[in-house]
Amino acid sequence: MELRHLRYFVAVAETCHFGRAAERLHMAQPALSQSVRQLESHLGATLFTRTTRQVSLTSAGEYLLEEARRILDAVDASATGVQRISEGRRGLARIGFTGTAVFSQLPAIARAIERDLPDIDLEVHADQLTPQLCEGLSEGRLDLAVLRPPATGDDTAVRAIAVEPLVLALPSDHRLVDEPEIAMADLRTEGFVLYASKDSAVNEAIQRAARAAGFTPRRSHLAPGTAVLLALVAAGLGIGLVPESARALPLEGVTFHDVTDAGAVELALAWHEPASALVEQVVGVLDAAGILTDRPSATGAPR
């Protein structure tokens, strides 16, 4: 038995007419009749009652019609699934996020993918530093990453998402909490809680802003991520400059304050080249949704 035998049988069963079934299948009626007889011979059962005026299903034919439809639907669904996977429209997208970017970017990214690529599931890896994300991309553990450029790796493509200002995280009883305006120069005597990674883009932005204000920030503690950094600030062990999206992490004992000249850090989407079909689909959807910008990233021109 071949799939074509089942398709021919279903066409005859649904029309109860060999001539009309042959027209639907774009084949000669004698060839169709022969194929149905071959199927009946193979199964050892009569599927149709034939008279000069009427063709009708036997009990065995009625049962086979139900099963044939189920089988053919499953085959068609499998073929469609394979095609969608090949086109990158079905599968699993593993996306990593640096620090608090998961709060500011994940909702919009997830909505866009769910709307335009409903057969793609998301696997989210949150609160990682950019070097970890670049490593995940190069080693194939991640498909995409929302990180802070520059991104390492010769085969890493980058598209800018946004520029995020740095804001000041203060212990709630700090002397500067009630100041109407704070500048970097006001922080020259403070101890800073910095990120532990030597390649932290936020640390580099802090260093640039401090140098412009005429001082070098004094390190009081190191934190592996934003959540720990804010906890150390809440404990009164220093102040911190963090991306503005950290405001989404309200913590008792921490007050956020704007700084006039603290600078900003870039947020970008990165992936490993050559991109898979799935990655190309996701990038295209995020681009169409306006999540990606055409502004050059810190690593060069947009890809």
Q: Which tens digits make up the pLDDT trace of 94-118?
A: 999 988 888 889 999 999 999 999 9
Per-residue confidence (pLDDT) for residue 303, from 0 to 100: 36
pLDDT digits (tens, 9 = 90+) for 226-240: 889 999 999 999 999
Question: 158 versus 127: which is more confidently predicted?
Answer: 158
Q: How far apart are CA 83 and CA 101, in angstroms?
A: 33
Cβ atoms of 268 and 297 within 8 Å: the answer is: yes
Q: How confident is the model at residue 83 (pLDDT cuts 50, 70, 90)?
A: confident
Q: What number is the average pLDDT over the span 168-186?
A: 96
Look up tokens 């008279």; give the residue.
51
Of 153, 161, 233, whose CA–CA distance to 193 is shortest? 233
Burial string for 239-252 (b: 16+ CB within 10 Å, else e) reads bbbbbbbbeebeee
Tens-place pLDDT, residues 194-244: 999 888 889 999 999 999 999 999 999 999 888 899 999 999 999 999 999
DSSP state of 239: B
Tokens 């073929």 belong to which residue? Answer: 79
Residue with tokens 């690529």, as numbered in its chain = 117
Question: Alpha-carbon torsion 88, 94, 100, 102, what sign?
Answer: positive
| Cis bond upstream, residue 224 (ω within 30) | no
pLDDT band for 295, please (50, 70, 90 cuts): low
Which pLDDT does position 81 carry in this prediction? 75
Confidence of residue 151 (pLDDT cuts 50, 70, 90): confident
Whether residue 213 contacts residue 205, with contact meaning beta carbons closer than 8 Å, is answered with no
- To the nearest 5 percent, what fractions of the chain are helix, strand and coil? 45, 25, 30
Higher pLDDT, 225 or 167: 167
SS3 for 211? Answer: helix
Q: Token pair for residue 178?
A: 């009630």
Q: Residue 18 corresponds to which amino acid?
A: F
- Average pLDDT of the chain is 90
